[in-house]
Amino acid sequence: LTVLFRATSTANLASTCFPSQKSPNFSVLLPSDDDLIKPRKLPNPILASHQHRALHQELLFCHRRGVLPRRKPELQCVLEHKQREQRKQREVAIHPPSDLEVKLRTRLQRLQYELEEQKRSESLKNVPEFVFVRQTLNRTEADFQFKS
């Protein structure tokens, strides 16, 4: 029966189901429009999400104020830095560094200091001579005014 159903067309099916009628009334067989679920547009999950709406609102607010988005206030940054430092101090108190770690840290600090000094001396070499002369003149004028 299923093979027969698949092979026949709707016209053949109508003639087998309703032999007395030439044109069957399928509206009786179909449910009315009130019973059908009417199609509607699916909501966009991104636009409907609370996080997306909050982000969009924040971006609009920051754009109006001219502030960079997602930048924390200075007070909050300072508090987070303080909390990080306290956490580090607690870890050091629980697990004190070994002698090797202390030596390596001091060596690293010394190397960084030497690199900074080297960069500073290179930057001073690139400065023209008249800048040095002007700086010394400014210092002597300031010293002269301070003594008077």
Where are the domains positioned within the chain?
98-134
pLDDT tens readout for residues 57-76:
888 888 787 777 667 778 88
Task: For 3-33, write each residue's pLDDT tens digit.
Answer: 444 444 555 555 555 555 555 565 555 556 6
Say what the pTM is. 0.33
Distance CA 35, CA 38 (A): 9
Cα gap 10→49, rounded to integer Å? 46
Of 11 and 91, the one with more pLDDT = 91
Rounded distance between C-alpha atoms, residue 60 and residue 47, angstroms = 15
Query: Cα(127)–Cα(133) distance, rounded to whole angstroms?
Result: 11
